[in-house]
Amino acid sequence: MEKKVINNDTTFTVKGFGASGNLINGKTLKEIDVVREKPKDNEVLIEVLYCGVCHSDIHQVNNDWKNTRYPCVPGHEVVGKIIETGSGVNDFKTGQIVGVGCMIDSCQTCEPCRNGEEQFCLGEHGATMTYNGYFNDPESDYNTFGGYSSHIVVNKEFLLTLPDKLDLSRTAPILCAGITTYSPLKNAGVKSGSRVAIVGIGGLGHMAVQIAKAMGAEVTAITTKREKREEALKLGADRVLISEDKKEMEANELAFDFILITIPSEFDINLYVPLLGVKGSLVTVGLLGEYEKPLNNMEVAKFNRSVGGSLIGGIKETQEVLDFCAEHDIAPEVQMIRIEEINEAFDKIKNEEVRFRYVIDMAN
């Protein structure tokens, strides 16, 4: 993909890979022109070097959440080089390698934003996502385009500093898979001696196992696939449960203080609630959608259990997880691809054939 930038007075055009949503072409990603606004005083222009491929990209391209703005150019796990800075940018400089996660702006004045939780922005539009525009304004046709492109423009407040110890080619998934799992583990108070289960050992789950182990927890990986047992143990899990083994699941009722579910497709949460101990808590981060089968409230109430969800993390917390991964030598397991291979990669992700995360090498 050519990295040519075509300029005019207020915008510039670069190349990207996106989905038109056109019924003739389906949702297949193809090369398209991406028109971006030139950096404002508080923004930077970044040349994308690496971009992670998240299951959310597939959901968004397919309009699974019924909120997709087309054309859709995915990508919210970006590692890139600053090539231009606005006049008000002093903390970052041209040539610097930085990270960009799921958001590129917010109102920055509401209480969640002031508290470093920009993902919960209460401003008029909510957070501005790295792609697909405003998070909380479905009526707006304002769109943004993500890291499946040669360049991206970002507010300086949403840039992340990358520790020197991190391998740049493997860092991008930390900006979504890393923070999405780190935040609920941290907020649950996971520490030495905590009994933690991670359900789903894929792009998010394989990061969660490593992070929970580094926090000092006794970690159990729960998966439907017996062939993932050895992989989970290599990642640091102390043991592995097969969720389709009814006897094995029953033997672990009341066994865990905290369960993190990372499954990206429909699942029955009632299978996992009985595994929680007294006052245990469960958080799901994988499938951000609906499931028709109701939660069994009796199972929740009788042992004072808690069931909740979590959504990425703020910029401060995302910087925390980058530093945490550097400190504990944690890195995503990745397979590098070219942008032209993205449609094949989507198919392999849906078929669970990736180990464990694809990263697009945009430099090539």
CATH label of the domain that carries residue 72: 3.90.180.10
231 within domain boundaries? yes
Number of structural domains in the chain: 2
Query: pLDDT by residue (tens digit) across 137-151?
Result: 999 999 999 999 999
**25 and 152 co-located in one domain:** yes
Residue 134 has pLDDT above 70, yes or no: yes
Residue 1 within any structural domain of the chain: no
In a domain, 48, yes or no: yes
Give the Å distances, CA to CA, from 178 to 33, 175, 203, 245. 30, 6, 9, 29
H or E element in which residue 232 lies = helix 229-235
Q: Is residue 19 part of a domain?
A: yes
| CA 261/CA 265 separation, integer angstroms | 11
In a domain, 325, yes or no: no
Residues 292 and 341 in one domain: no
Query: Which amino acid appears at position 321 of this protein?
Result: V
Q: Is 132 contained in some domain?
A: yes
- Pair (149, 23) in one structural domain: yes
CA distance 167 to 361: 13
Q: In what order do the strands lie in the sheet with 30-37?
A: 6-7, 11-18, 30-37
Classify residue 315: in a domain, yes or no.
no
Q: Are residues 18 and 163 in the same domain?
A: yes
**Buried/exposed code over 271-293 (b: 16+ C-beta within 10 A; e: otherwise):** ebbbbbbeebbbbbbbbeeeeee
Looking at residue 301, which CATH number applies to its domain? 3.40.50.720
For the chain, what is the mean pLDDT?
A: 94
Question: Do 283 and 134 have their domain in common?
Answer: no
DSSP structural state of residue 91 = S
- What's the domain range around 287? 177-309
Q: Are residues 115 and 192 in the same domain?
A: no
Across 296-323, average pLDDT: 97
Cβ-based burial of 165 (10 A; exposed 0-12, middle 13-18, buried ≥19) = exposed
Q: Does residue 23 register a pLDDT over 90?
A: no
Read off the pLDDT of residues 263-300 as tens digits, 9 standing for 90 and up. Answer: 988 899 999 999 999 999 999 998 766 667 889 999 99
In a domain, 323, yes or no: no
| Residue 238 and residue 116 share a domain | no
Q: Which of the four pLDDT bands, split at 50, 70 and 90, describes residue 2?
A: low
Q: What is the pLDDT of residue 22?
A: 65
Provide mean pLDDT across the span 161-190.
98
In this predicted structure, the answer to whether residue 6 has a pLDDT above a threshold of 90 is: no
Same domain, 236 and 270: yes
What Å distances lie between residue 339 and 39, 58, 171, CA to CA? 25, 15, 17
Residue 212 and residue 93 share a domain: no
Same-domain pairing of 16 and 162 = yes
Q: Contact at 8 Å (CB) between 277 and 256? A: yes
For residue 226, the model assigns a pLDDT of 87
Indicate if 168 and 187 belong to the same structural domain: no
Mean pLDDT of 3-29: 77
Please say if the pLDDT value at position 84 is more than 80: yes
Q: Compute the chain's Rg from CA coordinates.
A: 20
Contact indicator for 121, 76 with CB cutoff of 8 Å: no
**What is the percent of the chain with per-residue pLDDT over 70, rounded to a whole number?**
95
Nearest to 175 by CA among 92, 95, 104, 125: 104
Q: State the distance between the two ends of the chain, measured CA to CA, in whole angstroms.
A: 8
Same domain, 155 and 189: no
Tens digit of each residue's pLDDT (9 = 90 or more) over 114-130 = 999 999 999 999 999 99
